Amino acid sequence: MSLAIFDLDNTLIADDSDYLWGQFLVDQGIVDKDHYESANAKFYDDYKQGTLDIVEFLRFSLQPLANNDPEQLYQWRAQFVQDVITPILLKPAQQLITKHRDRGDTLLVITATNRFVTEPIVKLYNIENLLATTPEFVAGRYTGGFTGIPCFQEGKVKLLDEWLKSSTETLQGSWFYSDSHNDLPLLKLVDNPVAVDPDEKLTEFARAADWPIISLRQGQCPAEHFHK
């Protein structure tokens, strides 16, 4: 029995939930289209290039939570999950999760996308443990700020370390599945790093390090790496 860690965006789902949530807000007329759409696209490009200023991005992406009543936000989020996320869930991802669950592994999703967006998505895969950037919630409303460490790059390692100290889990025999070179700090830490539909930088690194490279977007769940 080991710890099986999964990235979320472009790993367990076939797109980026953070970016898609921003586009959903634009499409619903909740935010200003011209400003928000262009900024959202730029931040997403920065992320893919590995140059994202995570604090600046969080100030941008969490502001709509502060500008709206929580009950209304929850209604929009439910619509977003149903209309936008459900179609991009990946059956091979569910099969991979089931393989780990059947082995008795502890399942954990760790994602830079904030908990407000990701919590209901992770529940669709029946995974109970989630580490994510946490929006600040004070006196019944979101503030637009965040609490603790942003769950991004080295921040994922720090938050995982804190989580491990409060649990009985260890990294012995651990797995981590991710698509992004932004996750290299954590991929290098686990015993079984797996590149999933990886970006160009991660593909290059994974090949040089002789890490498994799999796809959860084509056919059945690949099993050839899953032998330990």
Per-residue pLDDT of 47-76, as tens digits, reads: 889 898 999 999 999 999 999 999 999 999
Beta strands in 124-220 (DSSP E): 129-132, 134-138, 141-147, 175-178, 192-196, 213-214
Radius of gyration of the chain (CA): 17
Kindly report the backbone phi and psi dihedral angles of residue 6, in degrees, each rounded to the nearest multiple of 5, phi listed first. Answer: -130, 130
* 102 noted as active-site residue: no
The percent helix, strand, coil of the chain (3-state, each to 5) is 50, 20, 35
Give the model confidence (pLDDT) of 35-51 as tens digits: 898 998 899 899 889 89
Domains, the chain, ranges and CATH?
A: 3-214 (3.40.50.1000)
Q: Looking at the predicted structure, is the pLDDT value of residue 219 above 70?
A: no
Nearest residue to 158 via CA among 177, 137, 133: 133
Residue 9 falls in the annotated catalytic set: yes
The catalytic residue among 7, 105, 183, 197 is 7
- Assess whether pLDDT exceeds 80 at residue 221: no
Which of the residues 9, 16, 18, 105 is marked catalytic?
A: 9
